[in-house]
Structure 1
Amino acid sequence: MGFRAQLAALAGRFKQEVAFYRALQKHPQTPRLAKILLWLALGYLVLPFDLIPDFIPVIGQLDELVIIPLLLYLALKVIPVNLRQACRDEVESADNQK
C-alpha cells in the first residue's frame, strides 16, 4: 500500500469519525453532558487560544493531543453503548449508499 493510498484511507476514516460525532450530537437520546463535552472538544480545536500557549516548547503543542481526546473519551463514556453503535451503523450505511 503506497503513501497516497494510506493518506486517502486516513482521510476517509477521519471523515467517517466526524460524521459519527455529528450523528451523536444530533441524536435526541444523547445525554446533555455528552453533547456539552463534544462541543467543548470542537471549540478547543477551532478557537485560536489554548489553555497552554503554543510558544511554550513541547507542552504547548501537546495540549491539543491530550485535551481533545480526553474530552471525546469522556463524552463516549457517558453515551450508552447501544446508542453509539446505532450512530456508527447509521454512518456506515450512509457511506455504503454513496
Structure 2
Amino acid sequence: MLEKLKGWARNFKKQIYILYLSYKDERVPWYAKVFTACVVAYAFSPIDLIPDFIPILGYLDDVIIVPLGVMFALKMLPDVVINDCTEKAEELLKKGKPKNWIIGSLIIVVWCLLLVWAMITIYNLLNG
C-alpha cells in the first residue's frame, strides 16, 4: 500500500510539472492557461486556502481540491501539448523544482493584500 501511495505522489508531482510547462505553451487556449496557472500557483504555494492546523478540513485542499484542479486542467489541454510537456517534466523532475521568483513574489503579495483587506474589514465591522 505504501508503494502505491508513493507511486501516486510521484505521478501527481509529474502532473503538476506538466501543467507548469503547459501554461507557457502557445498551443494552449487562454482560458486553459489561466486555469492551469492558478492550479500550479496554488499547488506550489506554501499558503493553503484552508490552513493545515484545522483538523480534517486542513488537508481537504491537499487531498481533494488540488487533485481535482489538476484533473480539470489536464482535460483542458490538447493531447499533443501534454505529450510534449510530459517529456520535459520528466527532465525537470531529475533536476529539481523550478524556481520562478516573480510568480512566488506575486503569490505572497496577493496573500498579504487579502490578509490586510480581511483585517480592515473585520476592524470596520467590530467598530461599526
Please report how far the alpha carbon of residue 60 of structure 1 lies from its aligned counterpart in structure 2 after TM superposition. 1.8
C-alpha distance in 1, partners of 2:71/2:8? 20
* Counterpart selection for 2:26 from 25, 28, 45: 28
Q: Percent identity?
A: 31
C-alpha distance in 2, partners of 1:43/1:13? 18
List runs of 5+ in structure 2 lacking aligned partners. Answer: 96-128
Structure number with greater Rg is 2
Matching of residues 1-98 of structure 1 within 5 Å: 16-45=14-43, 46=45, 48-50=47-49, 52-92=50-90, 94=91
Read off the aligned partner of 2:87 and give its amino acid letter. D
Read off the aligned partner of 1:78 and give its amino acid letter. M
Aligned length: 88
Read off the aligned partner of 1:30 and give its amino acid letter. V
Read off the aligned partner of 1:76 and give its amino acid letter. L
**More RCO (CA 8 Å, sep 6+):** 1
Provide TM-score, normalisation by structure 1. 0.61
C-alpha distance in 2, partners of 1:59/1:11? 20
CA RMSD of aligned residues (A): 3.3
SS in 2 for 1:26: coil
Provide TM-score, normalisation by structure 2. 0.50
